[in-house]
Amino acid sequence: MFFWYIFHGGKLFVTSAQDGSRTVPYAKTCPFPDVAAVLDFYCGEDETYKAVMLSCRHGGEEDWLPLRSCYDRLPYKHYANATKALEVLDWNSQTLYCGHCGTRQELRTPISKFCPKCGVETWAKLSPAVIAVISRGDEILLVKSKTVKRDYHVLISGFVELGENFEDCLRREVYEETGLKIKNIRYYGSQAWPFPRNVMVGFFAEYAGGELRFQKEEIDSGAWFRYDALPQIPGKMSISRRLIDAWVKSRSKNK
């Protein structure tokens, strides 16, 4: 018996448990035909899970949830497993052929492939990104990013480039996007972010100097906000929100 994490068009198939809560199928075989891909994966346990991509959608619209919506609708274990399942499926679809000779690759392990012609081995890769609370006393820097479709303010973030560690990346991203310099960088935590295959690494940092000048290609607007007068911010599924909440809690304790 396996838990099946079944996707189509970026949405996860969910069922109803006996108590009315939402869950994912648990069965010996996939409950649907029209399977485009089935991959095994593991999440730090001995149990094997199944990641499935369908070529056709089955069931009603209420049976399919965007992965972001699953955070509040599924037990956290299933949400976390679903994020990895989607990442594995995306990796599989993007690495069908060898980048050296063009031969179709074969699975070697759940997160690696090899080329039967030239022998090159390919491992699943993540794109690390940094995100940070930039504080100035009782204020926090929040921006409206062009990459965020929803109407809320977010933290400064960006992808790590070649030759950078996380701290250097954060200094560069903050300066490029805002013109500010920062100090006292402190690690907070990380989060898998399967949109498509990222890991977000969170920090706290403090304002060290400079005047705000936003990079027009990345940011629409932004400002310093007091901890007790914040604008609309991301939901609780994101490390961005957890960073903000942790900072607000620390400021409130000091009052």
Nearest to 214 by CA among 247, 174, 177, 187: 177
Number of neighbours of residue 253 by Cβ within 10 angstroms: 7
pLDDT digits (tens, 9 = 90+) for 161-196: 999 999 999 999 999 999 999 999 999 999 988 877
Q: Tell me the C-alpha to C-alpha distance, in Å, between residue 119 and each of 36, 88, 109.
A: 25, 22, 15
Q: Which residues of the chain carry a pLDDT beneath 50?
A: none
- Please tell me the predicted confidence (pLDDT) of residue 132: 97
Token pair of 251, please?
Answer: 């400021």
The pLDDT assigned to 255 comes to 65
Q: Do the Cβ atoms of 201 and 238 come closer than 8 Å?
A: no
pLDDT given at position 58: 86
pLDDT at 47: 81
Q: Among 215, 210, 214, 143, which residue's Cα sits nearest to residue 182?
A: 210
Q: Which CATH number fits domain 127-253: 3.90.1150.10, 3.90.79.10, 3.30.70.20, 3.40.980.10?
A: 3.90.79.10
For the stretch 18-52, pLDDT in tens is 787 899 999 999 999 889 999 999 876 668 899 99
Domain ranges in the chain are: 2-94, 97-124, 127-253
